């Protein structure tokens, strides 16, 4: 039996990290949803960097660079973390550099784990199937908001934990995992409505990003498993067969 546990935010990473082999980094609104959209749509590599300064160095070397802070595209960069920006056909086969308020920071904090993959509601079922196939202990790391707990990452982590435990190949013992599963089940019928009071939804609503939010909260729109390899996020070769697929 493998273990799966939820860590609510990067600030708690060191309390939870011992003995896990795989970290799933989750930033539903919007970094990891955007990464899944980009990798699914043919971006070859996404290099996550923590600071705007690092991102600018890449920009000066001629890279396509995405930079977001406080929900907005940082001045002077090509785009931010709207998933729709990452579906641009011009990005196919390209390398994109990315820095965001929370998500890329969480990816880099988890980089000491043996394997780091990218989770979102968008790749939920494919990711869970892949995780079950690996037979390793899994930490689900929410990116949070500036090191604090946030609801949407917890819902996604709870949904993943629930599926892994349902497979009877995983068990959980931490209270954070029990709480995340519980919140995910309660939110499952209508995540968009459940999150209406959440802090980041309100932040994005003010920025007129409702379409982005709807996209990010829709489960199973993609089947890619983006993985960090050699400092860049790339697609894992994996044939996902949905359980309900017609053959």
Taking CB under 8 A as the criterion, the residue among 2, 104, 120, 176 binding a second copy is 176
Site string for a second copy, 20-39 (x = CB under 8 A): --------------------
The CA-CA-CA angle for residues 28, 33, 38, to 5°, reads: 165
Token pair recorded at residue 92 = 């196919």
Taking CB under 8 A as the criterion, the residue among 44, 132, 149, 218 binding a second copy is 149
Are 140 and 6 in contact, with CB atoms under 8 Å apart?
A: yes
Q: Going by C-beta distance under 8 Å and a sequence separation of 6 or more, which residues neighbour residue 123?
A: 36, 40, 220, 222, 223, 224, 225, 226
Are 23 and 110 in contact, with CB atoms under 8 Å apart?
A: yes
Give the range of 71-79, 108-116, 172-180, 206-214 binding a second copy by CB under 8 A. 172-180
Residues 184-203 close enough to bind a second copy by CB under 8 A: 186, 197-200
Taking CB under 8 A as the criterion, the residue among 56, 121, 151, 156 binding a second copy is 151
Give the range of 9-17, 26-34, 59-67, 76-84 binding a second copy by CB under 8 A. 9-17
Does 213 sit behind a cis peptide bond, omega within 30 degrees of 0 on the bond before it?
A: no
Site string for a second copy, 55-94 (x = CB under 8 A): ----------------------------------------
- In 3D, which of 239, 113, 198, 164 has the Cα closest to residue 5? 164
Give the range of 32-40, 107-115, 144-152, 221-229 binding a second copy by CB under 8 A. 144-152
The CA-CA-CA angle for residues 74, 76, 82, to 5°, reads: 45
139: three-class secondary structure by DSSP: strand
Number of residues that bind a second copy (CB under 8 A): 26
Residues forming the site for a second copy (CB under 8 A): 8, 11-12, 15-16, 145-151, 154, 173-176, 178-179, 182-183, 186, 197-200
């Amino acid at each position: 039996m493998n273990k799966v546990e939820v860590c609510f935010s990067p600030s708690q990473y060191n309390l939870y990290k011992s003995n896990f082999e795989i970290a799933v980094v989750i930033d539903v609104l919007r970094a990891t949803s955007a990464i899944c959209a980009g990798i699914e749509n043919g971006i070859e590599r996404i290099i996550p960097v923590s600071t705007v300064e690092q991102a600018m160095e890449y920009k000066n070397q001629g890279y396509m660079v995405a930079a977001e802070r406080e929900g907005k595209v940082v001045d002077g960069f090509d785009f931010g973390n709207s998933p729709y920006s990452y579906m641009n056909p011009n990005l196919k086969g390209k390398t994109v550099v990315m820095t965001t308020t929370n998500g890329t920071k969480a990816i880099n904090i988890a980089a000491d784990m043996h394997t780091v993959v990218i989770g979102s509601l968008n790749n939920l079922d494919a990711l869970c199937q892949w995780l079950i196939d690996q037979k390793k202990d899994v930490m689900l790391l929410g990116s949070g908001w500036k090191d604090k707990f946030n609801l949407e990452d917890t819902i996604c982590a709870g949904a993943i934990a629930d599926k892994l435990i349902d497979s009877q190949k995983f068990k959980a013992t931490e209270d954070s995992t029990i709480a995340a599963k519980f919140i995910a089940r309660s939110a499952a019928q209508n995540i968009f409505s459940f999150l209406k009071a959440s802090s980041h939804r309100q932040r994005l609503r003010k920025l007129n990003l409702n379409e982005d939010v709807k996209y990010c909260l829709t489960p199973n729109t993609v089947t890619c498993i983006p993985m960090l390899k050699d400092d860049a996020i790339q697609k894992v070769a994996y044939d996902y067969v949905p359980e309900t697929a017609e053959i």
